[in-house]
Amino acid sequence: MRSDPLSAVDVLRALELFGPQARPYNFDDGFDCWGLVRAVFDRLDDGYEINEQLGRAGEGLEANWAPIERRGELVPGDLLTTHPYAGEGFHTVFFCGRVAGQDLVFDSSPRGLVPLFERAGDGWRLVASRPLFTRYMRATETTDRLRHDGGAYLRLWDERECFFNRAVHARLVAGATEGGPRAAAGRDLVALRRAAGLSSLPFYCLRRLPRDAAGREIYDNRLTRHLDYYVPDGAPLPDDLYEAVAERGEAAPGPPRPPAPRLTHAPLWIVRNDPVRVEWEYRGDAEACRVEVWEETADLWKHRLVRQEHDEPLTAFTVPATLLRPGVRLAVVVYARGPGGYSDGMLVPLLYRPAAGDPLLEYDPVRPEELWPDEGVSLPRGGDVMLRWRIREAESSQVSATVTVIEDGCLADGLAPAYEQKLTGAAAALCRCTIPSAALRAGHSYTWYVAVRDIEGRAAFAPSEGLFTITERG
């Protein structure tokens, strides 16, 4: 563990980047509670693997954690856990500070209460506490259903957390003793956020959000629901710009991030021969790129094996032979870098020389991408809608596809489809489907899904999802 001073302000800035815009809660894709920790320290410490602080019971790493004896001795930024090791029931949060006498934590979880504050003179008053839900969350590998619950939010203190990380605490204490406004803020979360250049409190702590049919407050994660891996430079929007950009449609300031690279060559899910080479092209201005290789373990924890920053936009990468071991599960992720930062990641998962009976052979993670229409785009009423998508090696990875369209909901809601069509053979390989205008109603939103089956009969672990609306205007 690094021992250099760490500022609570820097921790809050990092958490802001990985706030609800960046990823809702999803254990299967790594953005669970510990996935948030890894993402934050990866950014703060330039790739440091915080996994070194946490092992299984009996591995000797329990000494990295100490029981919380007096809550008042904790400092903002402290890393808190339910157990000093990973295991059943394990959970972790970041302690962030106090507002209106309430201790608050940042928690990536499907549970926990989010506070709602209002101004009270020169301070704040807690007026409500409630759960929040995240809509339009993508299913990811090994997910057996689409989810729209939970998320990464600032929440009220959860009594489950009983341990804090010794090394992180020591770094934060050292950072607070350096003086200046950051140290002077102490445990006052609003003062710390202002010192970090953030809004007083996140937008969801200052106002209620829209409600779904069940009356639950909903945060629509539509801006980033397509991501499978973390965005290296954080969320598309800071909290301060959420309302302007996500609700009023105003443009975000500064240059836009480049689009993700487009895959032009890669092995399919099952790889039996090397070398393993990935090739891609750029769909916009790219000045440089980042290439990463991750290993995914049986318990779905990801371990980064390679990170390469290139000052030129490379278009190919060969996985080092030293990483290719029988039964290893790898993911190659490529990001374009431009004036607006990093793009979303282009993802290539692969399973190298699996043994017969490997459970990962039962499905295929190669899924349709570049769905259109998507991102809630508005389309005029009265016309047929052509759905389009892209999938690599369609002739072998998509010999059949089922297109399902849901009105005013998502697949997880169990609603009857407004339209459904099964494509096979050459029709499936075309990667398109037309919805007749008679199946669509003006003033309604439509979520559509493509579920595919490959040439060996394997189905994808989850369908791909798009979203559009039909306007009242013809």
Question: φ, ψ for residue 147 (rounded to 5)?
Answer: -120, 150
Taking only the tens place, the pLDDT of each residue in 267-299 is 989 999 999 999 999 998 899 999 999 887 665
Reported as a pLDDT band with limits 50, 70 and 90, residue 251 is confident
pTM: 0.79
Tell me the residue type at 87: G
Which band of pLDDT confidence, cut at 50, 70 and 90, is reported for residue 398? very high
Residue pair 99/206 in contact by the 8 Å Cβ criterion: no
Higher pLDDT, 75 or 285: 75
As a whole number of Å, the CA-based R_g of the chain is: 23
Q: What residues have CB less than 8 Å from 215, skipping those under 6 apart?
A: none
Percent of the chain with pLDDT over 70: 88
pLDDT in tens, 217-235: 888 776 666 565 555 565 6
Asked whether residue 21 carries a pLDDT value surpassing 70, the answer given is: no
**Distance separating alpha carbons of residues 471 and 474, to the nearest angstrom:** 8
The predicted structure's pLDDT at residue 68: 95
| Close Cβ partners of 88 (under 8 Å, ≥ 6 residues apart) | none
Q: Say if residue 184's pLDDT is above 80.
A: no
Share of the chain above pLDDT 90, in %: 51
Whether the predicted pLDDT of 161 surpasses 50: yes
Cβ–Cβ under 8 Å, residues 373 and 379: yes
CATH 2.60.40.10, applies to 369-470: yes
pLDDT at 361 over 90: no
Is the bond preceding residue 326 a cis peptide, omega within 30 degrees? no
pLDDT in the model for residue 410: 78
Going from the C-alpha of 231 to that of each of 51, 81, 120, 209, 412, the distances in angstroms are 20, 25, 37, 25, 26
Distances (CA, A) of 167 to 1, 5, 99, 176: 7, 10, 26, 14
**What residues contact 268, with CB distance under 8 A and at least 6 apart?**
350, 364, 366, 392, 393, 396, 397, 454
Q: Which residue, among 381, 416, 409, 412, has the nearest Cα to 467 in the 3D structure?
A: 409
Average pLDDT of the chain? 86
d(CA 458, CA 351): 14
Residue 241's nearest CA partner among 199, 275, 209 is 199
Looking up tokens 């940042």 gives 106
Beta strand spans in 68-173 (E): 79-81, 92-99, 102-109, 114-120, 123-130, 133-135, 151-156, 163-165
How far is Cα 104 from Cα 102, in angstroms, rounded to an integer?
6
Average pLDDT of span 248-266? 85
- List beta partners, residue 31: 26
The closest alpha carbon to 218, from 131, 155, 143, belongs to 131
How open is the CA angle 95-16-150, to the nearest 5 degrees? 75
Of 27-36, 408-417, 441-450, 458-467, give the range with the top mean pLDDT. 441-450
- Name the pairing type of β-strands 114-120 and 163-165: unpaired
Tell me if residue 309 falls in helix, strand or coil. Answer: strand
Quote the CA–CA distance of 376 and 374 in Å, as a whole number: 5
Range(s) of the chain covered by CATH 2.60.40.10: 262-362, 369-470
H helices of 266-317, in order, are none
d(CA 244, CA 344): 22
Mean pLDDT of 139-155: 72
Q: Is the peptide bond before 373 cis (omega within 30 degrees of 0)?
A: yes
Question: Is residue 143 scored above 60 in pLDDT?
Answer: no
CB burial class (10 A; 0-12, 13-18, 19+) of residue 222?
middle
DSSP labels for 51-96?
GGG--BTTSSGGGGEEE-S-GGG--TT-EEESSSSB-TT--EEEEE
End-to-end CA distance of the chain: 61
d(CA 215, CA 9): 35
CATH superfamily of 262-362: Immunoglobulins (2.60.40.10)
Q: What 3-state DSSP class applies to 130?
A: strand
Asked if 149 and 217 count as a contact pair (C-beta separation under 8 A), the reply is: no
The predicted structure's pLDDT at residue 182: 46
At residue 396 the predicted structure's pLDDT band, cuts being 50, 70 and 90, is very high
Integer CA distances (angstroms), 6 to 98, 100, 272, in order: 19, 26, 45
Q: Is the separation of the CB atoms in 136 and 374 below 8 Å?
A: no
Q: What is the tens place of the pLDDT at every residue in 312-360?
A: 999 999 999 999 999 999 999 999 999 888 888 888 999 999 999 888 8
